[in-house]
Amino acid sequence: MAHRVQKRAPHGAALAERAERPLPDCIEKENQTMPHLEGQRVEYRDDQNKKCQGEIKQVSGNGPAATYVIKNEQTQRDDRVREMQIEQDL
């Protein structure tokens, strides 16, 4: 009695097929940074790592390399802040 051997795609082919599939929405959104716009109020960390709130006055660049000038509501001074320092929109 002969055994039937079922041919399978090589392991690499399965990985390549999986890599071509789009990411689920929840993962895709998690990896994207939301752009912050002039006039938005945000909570951010200043250079001393203290939580502050203020309004975005100027935006330079985009994505993770974006920088912002934010008018600190408490001190009324302009702080230059990187994207990673912004904690949340208010």
Q: Virtual CA dihedral for 62, 64, 65, 66, nearest 10 degrees?
A: 50
Question: φ, ψ for residue 37 (rounded to 5)?
Answer: -115, 155
Q: Total domain count for the chain?
A: 1
Q: Does the residue 79 lie in any domain?
A: yes
Structural domain of 79: 11-89
Token couple for 39:
């006039």
Q: Does the residue 4 lie in any domain?
A: no
Give the pLDDT confidence of 53-73 residue by residue, as tens digits. Answer: 999 999 999 888 999 999 999
Q: What angle do CA 81, 55, 51 make, to 5 degrees?
A: 55
Q: Does the residue 6 lie in any domain?
A: no
- The reply to whether the predicted model has a pTM over 0.75 is no
Q: Does the residue 3 lie in any domain?
A: no
Closest CA to 31 of 59, 60, 64, 61: 64
Q: Does the residue 1 lie in any domain?
A: no
Q: Is the pLDDT of residue 16 over 80?
A: no
Q: Is the pLDDT of residue 4 over 70?
A: no
Q: Virtual CA dihedral for 83, 71, 38, 36, nearest 10 degrees?
A: 20
Here the CATH number for the domain that contains residue 58 is 2.30.30.140
| Least trusted range by pLDDT, from 4-13, 31-40, 56-65, 73-82 | 4-13
